[in-house]
Amino acid sequence: MVLPIQRVALVGGTHGGELTGVFLAKKFQQFPRQIQRNGIETITLLANKKAIAMGRRYIDTDLNRTFHPQDLANPQLMNYEQSIAKTIARRIQQEKIDFIIDLHSTTANMGLTIILRSTHPDLLRLAAYLTAINPQVKILQHPPDQNTSYLRSLVEFGIAIEVGAVANGLLDAKLFQETEDLIHSILDYIEADRQGKPLAAPTNFTFYHMLEKVDYPRNKHGEIQAMIHPQLQFQDYKPLHPGNPMFITFDGKDIFYEGEFTVYPVFINEVAYYEKGIAMYLTQKEEYCFEVQEE
């Protein structure tokens, strides 16, 4: 089956201080032929221009939490990010965008991570292909009910690319180039599929399913009482077993993971998540197998 994709939106600067996406979008605006493919038109979009200019994640509220359909339809929600979310949503609809690539970076050690908008089989096959050509690529999936307020949720074929670890306001050439290569691989895959020459994807691949978020230990006043344990820092996608240390208090006492089974933390100690009450997300490592089509 040919992917129903003809128009792609490549978005940078949803968070103003995440410069990998900002400068990739600017590069492709300067050299648009690099992201054009036969049968596909790709547009670039700098999402939060005021935050980009100020080097901040956002001005009034997190833009990447303002795309829930109810919020977009609410005329009372009109602060800066809420207003531009409505503008972006209208543009995506008016320009009949089929596929969104939303570019992000993180201070967590997420490497090259693709977050899927949905579990549509064609999107999963793209994910499988990308993990096959680059084993460093990780695939992350939010629960469906928690995946509706992000920019990528505006279309069924939406993904976010998270790269890290890199500080906000910083460009890392290696991550920049790896992200650029990943974008080209995605566009090449779509082009080949549109031409009836689909690129081979494995029949199974590994992905990580988000289970829950974990906050830092806090006192009754909401003040943080412990840090990410040194043994866990930068260990994104590594197994966390029951009894392993998760946090360490300021006076040196370990706090251990008390779950009943092994999990795989991600977004560990992401700086932008302190305000959201998130120290990390716990995920379950799973294997997805495609159904074999009988001849």
Question: What are the extents of the domains in the chain?
Answer: 7-202, 212-280
> In this predicted model, what pLDDT tens digit does every residue of 238-256 receive, in sequence order?
999 999 999 999 999 999 9
Segment 25-49, tens digit of pLDDT = 999 999 999 999 999 999 999 999 9
CB of 237 closer than 8 Å to CB of 268 = no
Per-residue pLDDT band for 234 (boundaries 50, 70, 90) equals: very high
User: Rounded mean pLDDT of 262-274?
Assistant: 98
| Phi, psi of 274, deg, nearest 5 | -60, -45
What is the chain's length? Answer: 295
Q: Over range 268-273, report the average pLDDT.
A: 98
Token pair, residue 133, equals 């050509």
Averaged confidence pLDDT in the chain: 95
Give the count of beta carbons closer than 10 Å to the beta carbon of residue 65: 15
Q: Are strands 157-164 and 111-116 parallel, antiparallel or unpaired?
A: antiparallel
Domain 212-280, CATH among 2.40.50.140, 2.20.25.160, 3.40.50.10540, 3.30.390.50: 2.20.25.160
Mean pLDDT of 191-195: 94
Q: Are 187 and 8 in contact (CB under 8 A)?
A: yes
Is the predicted pLDDT of residue 294 greater than 60, yes or no? Answer: no
Q: Which fold has domain 7-202?
A: Aminopeptidase (3.40.630)
For the stretch 121-176, pLDDT in tens is 999 999 999 999 999 999 999 877 666 899 999 999 999 999 999 999 999 999 99
Q: What are phi and psi of 90, to 5 degrees?
A: -65, -40
What is the arithmetic mean of pLDDT over 167-195? 97
84-108: pLDDT as tens digits: 999 999 999 999 999 999 999 999 9
- Angstrom CA distances, 168 to 20, 21, 34, 80, stand at 10, 12, 26, 21
